[in-house]
Amino acid sequence: MSNTSAPVSAALPHLVTSLPGPRASAVIARDHAVMSPSYTRDYPFVIAKGDGAMVEDVDGNRFLDMNAGIAVVATGHSHPRVVNAIRAQAEKFLHMSGTDFYYENMVELAEKLTALCPAPAPRRVFFGNSGAEAVEAALKMARYHTGRDKFIGFLGAFHGRTMGALSLTGSKAVQKQGFAPLLGGVTHIPYAYCYRCAYGKKPETCAVECVKVLEDTLFKTILPAQEVAAIFVEPVQGEGGYVVPPRKFFDELQAVASRHGILLVCDEVQAGMGRTGKMYAHEHFSADPDIIALAKGIASGLPLSATIAKAQYMEWKPGAHASTFGGNPVAVAASLATIELLEQELLDNAAQVGGAMKERMQTWPGRFPIVGDVRGLGLMLGFEIVKDQESRERAPELRNEIVQRAFHRGMLILGAGQNSIRLAPPLVLSHEQAAFALDTLEDILGSLSR
Ligand SMILES: Cc1ncc(COP(=O)(O)O)c(C=O)c1O
């Protein structure tokens, strides 16, 4: 129990029991008996209710949620306008299967998502239920359209856990171990992870070797370009550590893809839907992807994904691909309300609050020797914990310690990559809440830096 005596506003954390409290402990014990042990839980938080960026556990402890359910509740927990939209749709009908019948709000959402794409082009949308499904649809569509069977992905990338999406994933060995054989024909190359450039370059000396390797080496040796259907890339690598590539990375990637008739697929499952301060993360790089995969924040917590493709690439026959639940009308209603809120206020809030946070966080490497790098866009912010700044040796134990300490100070944060921490709060985060988050983290970083 840390701050029981200080009365705080409902918009800030307040702990009333030691953690976990008795009710949380009881739920966790039951969970351990029946739930899949493959789930990863970093600390014993058991939610009872949420409101905006705040969540309360079953013992009445209030936390600041700097994860948003892994970058999902874009509009905050149970935003009244999203809840009203869900309620209104639920009273009309819950399901009809958009793959077999028509309903209007699904069409409306597809119109909206395509109109929001910055580069004008006729586009079509396939709706699924999860990020992995959005990626699966992109994989299948790329093969179907190009008649090619190979793919390029990036080390550090996370695209999901179904067999196809898992094959593209290059994140953690534990996610792949025991599941072979995976989809053949996927080649992973290093991402534009400039703090740890695989080619030993500095920004001043970088000639985008991480993309040049395709034409200079891979296409000439093991991977004929004319057999590659698509390149899958996260505009900001999420699970890989919130890694932001330089703009020239996308320029080169786009150029290589178009020279060889390879489709460029942006997996915006984590970075999309306003998280970076722009509706689509690829807007930051002026990229023009052929296919975009969206999920997570798209419906503020209801399961929904979208695969948006330029119309000439989504030309498969009726029956070629479908999903019973994909584009569920209640999830679609939540998505339409989410997008309206993003456009009206939350994109701006993400850019402003996130921008101010990043400015302050950028002072951290100068103040805390264990912070190696700070990066991010909008409210997708990460920082990397190292043993020392000279060697840049990763410090995963220290990172984990920070996550635990934050929890015991009333703040939910999570790691990303081997030794980074991600901040992906609801986009309703206020300046006051952001200041609390950074004050708390600075306190923790200061005590661990001594
Ligand atoms: C970039 C990216 N793609 C795909 C996925 C998979 O999404 P889901 O867990 O909804 O299948 C994730 C999940 O973290 C992700 O971050």
326-338 pLDDT per residue, tens? 999 999 999 999 9
Residue 183 has pLDDT above 80, yes or no: yes
What is the tens place of the pLDDT at every residue in 231-247? 999 999 999 999 999 99
Give the tokens for residue 240. 């890989």
Q: Provide the pLDDT for residue 214.
A: 98
Q: What is the mean pLDDT of residues 283-308?
A: 97
Q: What is the pLDDT of residues 300-325, one digit of tens each?
A: 999 999 999 999 999 999 999 999 99
Instruction: Choose the residue to mutate in 39, 73, 136, 159 for probing ligand 1, maximizing ligand atoms within 8 Å of C-beta.
Output: 159
Q: What is the pTM of this model?
A: 0.97
Tokens at 342, concatenated: 């993003």
Domain boundary among 276, 299, 327: 327
Ligand 1 center–CA 393 separation, angstroms: 28
Instruction: Give per-residue pLDDT as tens, 39-67.
Output: 999 999 999 999 999 999 999 999 999 99
Secondary structure letter of residue 256 according to DSSP: H
Q: How many domains does the chain have?
A: 2
What would the mean pLDDT of 143-155 be, rounded to a whole number? 98
Q: Where does the pLDDT of residue 8 fall: very low under 50, low under 70, confident under 90, or very high at 90 and above?
A: low
Alpha helices in 18-120 (DSSP H): 22-34, 68-71, 80-92, 104-115
| 382 & 433 share domain | yes
pLDDT at 4 over 50: no
Please name the residue ranges forming H helices in 182-278: 209-216, 247-259
**pLDDT (0 to 100) of residue 3:** 45
Domain-embedded: residue 439: yes
Q: What is the mean pLDDT of residues 207-213?
A: 98
Give the Å distance between the CA of 160 and the centre of ligand 1.
Answer: 5
CA-wise closest residue to 415 among 130, 44, 67: 67
Instruction: Tell me the Cα Rg of the chain.
Output: 22
pLDDT at 2: 45
What crossing angle do the helices spanning 431-449 and 347-361 adopt, rounded to 10°? 20
Do 74 and 189 have their domain in common? no
Q: Beta-strand (E) ranges in 190-249?
A: 228-233
- pLDDT at residue 1 in the model: 46
Looking at residue 203, its pLDDT comes to 87
CB 291 within 8 A of CB 230: yes
Task: Let me know whether 252 and 347 are in one domain.
Answer: no
Whole-number average pLDDT of the chain: 96
Cβ of 153 less than 6 Å from ligand 1: no
Are residue 288 and residue 157 in the same domain, yes or no?
yes
Q: Is the CB of 160 under 6 A from ligand 1?
A: yes
**270 alpha carbon – ligand 1 mean position (Å):** 6
- 236 with 296, same domain: the answer is yes
Asked if residue 131 has its Cβ within 6 Å of ligand 1, the reply is yes
298 and 435 both lie in a single domain: no
Q: Are residues 366 and 271 in the same domain?
A: no
- Give the residue-averaged pLDDT of 364-391: 98
- Same domain? For 71 and 105 the reply is no
Q: Please name which of 140, 171, 169, 424 lies closest in space to residue 281, comparing C-alpha atoms.
A: 424
- The parent domain of residue 217 ranges over 96-327
- Is the Cα dihedral 211, 212, 214, 215 positive or negative? positive
Distance CA 108, CA 85 (A): 14
CA of 158 to the centre of ligand 1 (A): 7
Angle made by CA atoms 245, 117, 293, in degrees to the nearest 5: 60
Ligand 1 centroid vs 45 CA: distance in angstroms? 22
CA distance 422 to 172: 17
Range 26-39 average pLDDT: 98
Which H or E element spans position 444? helix 431-449
Query: In this structure, is residue 337 part of a structural domain?
Result: no
pLDDT at position 9 is 75
Q: Is 239 a pocket residue for ligand 1 (Cβ < 6 Å)?
A: yes
